[in-house]
A = this chain, B = another copy of it.
Amino acid sequence: MLSITEENYLKALFRLTCEEVGKTDAGTNEIAAQLDVKPATASDMLRKLKEKKLIEYEKYGKSMLTRRGKKMAMEIVRKHRLWETFLYEKLGFTWDEVHEVAEQLEHIQSQKLIERLNTFLGNPKYDPHGDLIPQADGEFKLIEKKTLNDIAEGETCLVVGVSDNSAEFLQYVDGLSIAIHRPLKVVSRKPFDAILEIEVKGKRSAISARLADHIFVSREVKKAAKM
């Protein structure tokens, strides 16, 4: 069984490669930064994970997950996102509060627990941030997401996620009434100033193009769900 630390390295590598479009491997410094450790520390661990055949890695080279490593990484991400969903749906945590606690819960070892939790939550497809939850069979397809900057003036789209999960960011967009699965209209654009005027739940706000780039949307507005 893997240590919590080893699990965190696999997860970091998963996020840096499998969840990043057009990226198949990651460098040592990058991995170290993701985990908030020094490159020397990561270098050591990468050698160890290669021994365990969880990653492919050669001295001075880039790292990538093996099939086995990817499977294990995905299980951790699955647990993380199922717990986030639990905290949000069942315990009334807010968008920005779930991640920190899920970082701990994702390391609980019990196959049965995670299967039961999944059933209890009704086999959810997405977590509260709109991120896809990997399925038990290892099914996981990365959807390339459009950002708010891809939406034309006057169009209405649906918020499906964000690329910044910091509490500050989440609280800020919350203040603009932006939330997952909520329609959002791009009222106007000021290209010269790189500012968008948006409308959510009848409330108008101005946001920068930089911020808009962190908001993932789908073009079609979903029909209202049946009762």
The answer to whether A87 and B104 have CB atoms under 8 Å apart is no
Q: Mark A114-132, 1 if CB is under 8 A from B, else 0.
A: 0011001000000000000
Q: Does A52 contact B (CB under 8 A)?
A: no
Contact of A92 among B87, B104, B116 (CB under 8 A): B116
Number of identical monomers bound together in the oligomeric complex: 2
Specify which chain B residues have a CB less than 8 angstroms from the CB of A101 in the assembled complex. 108, 110, 112-113
The answer to whether B90 and A120 have CB atoms under 8 Å apart is yes
The answer to whether B90 and A113 have CB atoms under 8 Å apart is no
Specify which chain B residues have a CB less than 8 angstroms from the CB of A116 in the assembled complex. 91-93
Specify which chain B residues have a CB less than 8 angstroms from the CB of A56 in the assembled complex. none
Q: Does A109 contact B (CB under 8 A)?
A: yes
Footprint of B on A, CB under 8 Å? 87, 90-93, 97, 100-101, 104-105, 108-110, 112-113, 116-117, 120
